[in-house]
């Protein structure tokens, strides 16, 4: 589904040039559950943002379903992203002013799905993730685990083919963390591809494949 060829990202400030990713080539196939691991600053999150089409690489190619998207404009990336990719963040990133239902519904809004269908899809996903009873609550009224559950709902509501998770358990205690990992595993079982950045070997053990990064280089893959 996603293939990277010599993917490189360089951050420049006025004086310093930092190579966050250096010629990374890998492939994520349909139905995959991959964990990206590595020490702080190795480029994990950068790789994730590139895979998530949030940013363009400095050089190299990024193929999405066989098409090179590395030179896409922001508008094109947005279009591709909103119907194909869901995001889960370490700090949940829910919008405080919106309640649970509205938070989950948000991506559908941007996909211009009609109201009735939007409502149905949102209800379904809340039912599936057992969060329906909290629908009117605001993020600050929920526990961390519940918030991440809502965030996952939001990530999957549009039926994306790929979920990108950035340390999804990082802000959770172990019980809630396990809960979230089980949810992800269940989603993967239903056919959604997942790429997850994590520090935790325990979380990584849920994945089918582990990609290790060190100083922007791919250390070990299995292709």
Residue 124: which of 99, 105, 151 has the closest Cα? Answer: 105
Distance in Å, CB of 8 to another protein, minimum = 17
Partners of residue 63 on adjacent β-strands = 3, 68
In the stretch 37-56, what mask flags binding to another protein with x, by CB under 8 A?
--------x---x--x-xx-
Q: Which residues contact 41 (CB under 8 A, 6 or more apart)?
A: none
Q: Where are the beta strands (DSSP E) in 85-128?
A: 85-88
Annotate 164-191 with DSSP letters as a single string. Answer: EEESTTTTS-HHHHHHHHHHHHHHHHTT
Using CB under 8 A as the binding rule, whether residue 169 contacts another protein is answered as no
Distance in Å, CB of 133 to another protein, minimum = 24
Q: 205: number of CA atoms within 13 Å, CB side?
A: 4
Distance in Å, CB of 49 to another protein, minimum = 5
8 A C-beta contact, residue 192 and residue 28: no
Considering only 82, 118, 134, 149, the residue that binds another protein (CB under 8 A) is 82
Using CB under 8 A as the binding rule, whether residue 12 contacts another protein is answered as no
39 vs 189, beta carbon nearer another protein: 39
Considering only 154, 169, 211, 213, the residue that binds another protein (CB under 8 A) is 154
The residues binding another protein (CB under 8 A) are 45, 49, 52, 54-55, 74-75, 78-79, 81-83, 87, 89-91, 93-97, 106-107, 110-111, 154
């Amino acid at each position: 589904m996603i293939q990277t060829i010599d993917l490189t990202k360089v951050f420049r400030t006025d004086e310093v040039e930092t190579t966050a990713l250096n010629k990374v080539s890998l492939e994520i196939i349909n139905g995959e559950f991959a964990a990206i691991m590595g020490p702080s600053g190795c480029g994990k999150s950068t790789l994730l943002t590139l895979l998530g089409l949030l940013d363009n690489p400095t050089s190299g190619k990024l193929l999405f379903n066989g098409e090179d998207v590395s030179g896409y404009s922001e508008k094109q990336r947005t279009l591709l992203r909103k119907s194909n990719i869901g995001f889960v963040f370490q700090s949940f990133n829910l919008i405080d002013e919106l309640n649970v239902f509205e938070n989950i519904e948000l991506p559908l809004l941007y996909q211009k799905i009609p109201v009735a269908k939007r409502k149905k899809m949102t209800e379904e996903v809340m039912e599936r993730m057992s969060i329906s009873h909290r629908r009117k609550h605001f993020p600050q009224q929920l526990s961390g685990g519940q918030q991440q559950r809502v965030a996952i709902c939001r990530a999957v509501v549009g039926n994306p083919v790929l979920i990108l998770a950035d340390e999804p358990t990082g802000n959770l205690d172990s019980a809630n963390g396990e809960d979230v990992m089980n949810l992800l595993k269940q989603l993967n079982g239903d056919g959604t591809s997942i790429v997850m950045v994590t520090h935790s070997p325990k979380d990584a053990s849920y994945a089918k494949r582990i990609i290790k990064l060190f100083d922007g280089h791919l250390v070990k893959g299995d292709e």
